[in-house]
């Protein structure tokens, strides 16, 4: 038995707060994850929140969004309807354009240099020709609801138009359910032909076309994507067909759903698959194709019930290029940060999948906007909004969660957790609530050992009675809190939360610490940040002894 005054040797263990989602295949391996936060300059910071700026049709889903730099407007597809959002400081004014023939599923949008925007819904192709609001014209491959294509127009053999893009003055269109990808006339989205030199085909494998993506910064190269293969082609201007396939390179991974294809900066990203592989996250940087998803994420994606129902997009915000992808049926979303090469979980305020379907940047407002998988609203997507604002008068805090990697001693022996602490930004604008304890001295609060409980100023704290009684103590509660919970069973279950209030405005002390956290031989910490404001936290330290 140790002597009464024996000192135990305290060990300091690094606490990694500025980390991403790196969970293992099973929680026992690691339950490490970060929700609705990313890492910036070694600090954990809040992921962008969103604010409703426009209600278009709450009963229909957002299907697509596109920014026209030449036209200086935003085009959105909500259910059947196509809207043009014209910006008049300080707001967008929606203008209904026309209806599509379908009201659900992904749409694909591209534009040429002749004020023509092509929209496809995998059933029909539509062309919106804008030359000023009064001269707008809508053309449809069906003729329904718009002007039929003029001659030379839409070939009858072209069925199921899917992913569209633009390069070299031509719209490039993938015909789903075929091997073919086709080219429009030069800066003429109303001119199409079913003969050479306007039709290309996948060659490396028996496959169906998914999309043709111009390589960012890749001059005249395109990545032709099937379901099981991806080929690199280069525009060389030959007479028979203007593109030639690169005979020395292709990727063995195609695309599970063209709605996951996204390109930005130096990257093309998609959810890949082939005949021998389930879904994985792939990236092409102009020189090579590689898999970037981790073992834990691949395992989770491999066990989804409907991996084909997915969508993804790239955007750059605050210096970080981020790819966000969602599986709505399976209720999960992730973001991958190319700056830090980390994954993060992202969600709505209820920890369900993130509602964004596609994101665009609009230069006049210097902000990002998205259409939602849940309802026909348009949202501003910005780190200035740490909450979810649906425009219904209620603002919902988005939980920010850090689950650390498990800590275990090589000996597997028990240890006592003396403290856990880390540095956090404090003293920023923070709403506090004043609370009053009312009562009289004959209804006093006491400890189990019969000691009176007093406030910091020495006033005795009593039970709450009628408001007419004399106040006995005052205290404040912050609306910004950090909660700590522990798991001692390998991340299977977590105990009750220990909350700490953040400091009010102007109190900049940056330390947050929990003391005397019990004993364990395998511990995982879950830290939750709840606030209508931002959080900024960095790595800390755990103190243990045996």
Band of the pLDDT at 234, cuts 50, 70, 90?
Answer: very high
Q: Minimum mean pLDDT among 223-232, 334-343, 503-512: which range? A: 503-512
Note whether 43 and 538 are within 8 A (CB): yes
Whether 438 shows a pLDDT value over 80: the answer reads: no
- Convert 184-199 into a string of H (helix), E (strand) and C (coil): EECCEEEEECCCCCCE
Token pair in block for residue 466:
């009628």
Question: What does the pLDDT read at residue 133?
Answer: 57
Whether 337 shows a pLDDT value over 90: the answer reads: yes
Cα Rg, the chain, nearest whole Å? 28
Q: Is 156 left (phi over 0), alpha (psi -120 to 50) or beta?
A: alpha
Residue 227: which of 260, 199, 267, 264 has the closest Cα? 260
Q: Which residues of 237-261 are buried (b: 16+ CB within 10 A; e: fewer)?
A: eeeebbbebeeeebbebbbbbbbbb
Q: Count Cβ atoms below 10 Å from residue 543 Cβ, excluding itself.
A: 18
Note whether 302 and 278 are within 8 A (CB): yes
The residue written with tokens 């959002």 in the block is 85
The residue written with tokens 């994850």 in the block is 33
Total length of the chain = 546
Q: What is the pLDDT of residues 11-60, one digit of tens each?
A: 999 999 999 998 888 888 888 999 999 999 999 999 999 999 999 987 89
Residue % of the chain over a pLDDT of 90: 61
Under 8 Å CB-to-CB from 88, ≥6 apart: which residues?
A: none
Note whether 369 and 360 are within 8 A (CB): yes
What is the pTM (predicted TM-score) of this model?
A: 0.87
* 331/162 Cα distance (integer angstroms): 25
Token pair in block for residue 43:
């600090």
Question: What does the pLDDT read at residue 298?
Answer: 87
Q: What is the pLDDT of residues 59-108, one digit of tens each?
A: 899 999 999 999 999 999 999 999 999 999 999 999 999 999 999 999 99
Residue 331: which of 348, 352, 347 has the closest Cα? 352
- Helix ranges (DSSP H) in 379-468: none
């Amino acid at each position: 038995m140790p002597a009464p005054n024996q000192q135990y040797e305290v060990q300091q263990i690094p606490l990694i707060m500025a980390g991403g989602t790196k969970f293992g295949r099973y929680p026992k391996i690691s339950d490490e994850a970060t929700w609705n936060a990313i890492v910036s300059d070694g600090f954990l910071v809040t992921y962008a929140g969103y604010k409703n700026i426009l209600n278009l049709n709450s009963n229909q889903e957002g299907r697509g969004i596109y920014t026209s730099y030449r036209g200086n407007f935003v085009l959105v597809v909500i259910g059947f309807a196509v809207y043009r959002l014209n910006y008049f400081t300080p707001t967008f004014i929606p203008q209904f354009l026309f209806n599509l023939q379908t009201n659900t599923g992904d749409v694909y949008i591209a534009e040429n240099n002749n004020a023509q925007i092509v929209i496809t819904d995998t059933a029909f192709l539509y062309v919106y020709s804008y030359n000023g609001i009064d001269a707008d014209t809508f053309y449809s491959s069906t003729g329904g609801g718009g002007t039929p294509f003029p001659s030379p127009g839409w070939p009858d053999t072209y069925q199921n138009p899917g992913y569209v893009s633009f390069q070299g003055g031509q719209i490039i269109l993938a015909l789903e359910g075929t091997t073919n990808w086709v080219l429009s006339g030069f800066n003429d989205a109303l001119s199409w032909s079913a003969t050479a030199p306007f039709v290309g085909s996948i060659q490396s494998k028996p496959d169906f076309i998914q999309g043709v993506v111009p390589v960012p910064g890749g001059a005249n190269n395109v990545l032709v994507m099937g379901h099981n293969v991806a080929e690199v082609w280069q525009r060389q201007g030959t007479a028979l067909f203007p593109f030639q396939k690169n005979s020395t390179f292709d990727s063995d991974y195609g695309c599970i759903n063209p709605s996951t294809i996204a390109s930005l900066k130096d990257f093309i990203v998609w959810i890949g698959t082939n005949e021998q592989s389930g879904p994985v996250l792939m990236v092409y940087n102009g020189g090579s194709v590689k898999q970037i998803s981790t073992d834990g994420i691949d395992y989770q994606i491999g066990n989804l019930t409907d991996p084909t129902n997915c969508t993804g997009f790239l955007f750059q915000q605050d210096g970080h290029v981020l790819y966000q992808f969602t599986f709505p049926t399976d209720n999960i979303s992730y973001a991958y940060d190319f700056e830090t090469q980390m994954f993060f979980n992202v969600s709505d305020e209820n920890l369900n999948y993130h509602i964004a379907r596609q994101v665009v940047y609009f230069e006049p407002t210097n902000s990002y906007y998205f259409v939602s998988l849940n309802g026909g609203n348009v949202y501003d997507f910005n780190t200035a909004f740490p909450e979810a604002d649906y425009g219904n008068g209620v603002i919902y805090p988005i939980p920010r969660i850090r689950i650390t990697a498990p800590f275990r001693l090589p000996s597997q022996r028990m240890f006592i957790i003396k403290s856990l602490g880390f540095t956090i930004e404090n003293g920023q604008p923070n709403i506090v609530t004043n609370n009053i304890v009312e009562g009289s001295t004959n209804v006093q609060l006491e400890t189990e050992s019969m000691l009176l409980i007093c406030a910091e100023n020495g006033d005795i704290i009593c039970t709450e009675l009628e408001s007419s009684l004399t106040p006995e103590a005052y205290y404040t509660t912050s609306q910004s809190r950090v909660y700590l919970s522990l798991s001692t069973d390998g991340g299977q279950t977590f105990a009750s939360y220990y909350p700490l209030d953040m400091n009010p405005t102007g109190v900049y002390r940056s330390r947050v610490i929990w003391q005397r956290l019990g004993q364990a031989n395998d511990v995982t910490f879950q830290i939750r940040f709840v606030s209508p404001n931002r959080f900024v936290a960095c790595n800390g330290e755990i103190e243990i002894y045996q």
